[in-house]
Amino acid sequence: MVLVSGCLLGLRCRYDAKRLRVPKLIKELKDPLPLCPEQLGGFPTPRIPAEVKGRAEGVWKGEAKVINEKGEDVTQGFIIGAKEVLRLVRLFNIKKAYLKENSPSCGREGVLIPLLKKRGVEIRWIK
């Protein structure tokens, strides 16, 4: 089983609820597990865009935050969502992930990434 950002599979889970075109590479995956950390963290779709202010590792140390475009601190929801994804990664013994580039959850500097790296999950980012 391979973890895949749900938006890469065409699910309307992006912040703007737009459906992405499914990349050929993703279409060819066997046993993808589509997940959206932000939805698992309790955020609605659509939702106000947010970004990590600081480094993702800093979120876990209390040194950085996730702030939405209204200036609201939404860090806790991102932490909850990342922990839920990690729970499923452990449950299904997932070793590989295809994640959405530039996401505050799944992007290279996303909140989820330190947890997956610590777990030894191989990550590939898709634009």
Cβ atoms within 10 Å of 95's Cβ, excluding its own: 13
Q: How far apart are CA 111 and CA 19, in angstroms?
A: 22
Main-chain dihedrals φ then ψ at residue 116, nearest 5 degrees: -65, -40
pLDDT-derived band of residue 119, with 50, 70 and 90 as boundaries?
very high
| DSSP summary character for residue 6 | G
Give per-residue pLDDT as tens, 71-108.
Answer: 999 999 999 999 999 999 999 999 999 999 999 999 99
Strands (E), 2-127: 2-5, 32-35, 50-53, 65-68, 96-100, 122-126
Give per-residue pLDDT as tens, 45-71.
Answer: 999 999 999 999 999 999 999 999 999
Residue type for position 80: I
The answer to pTM > 0.85 is yes
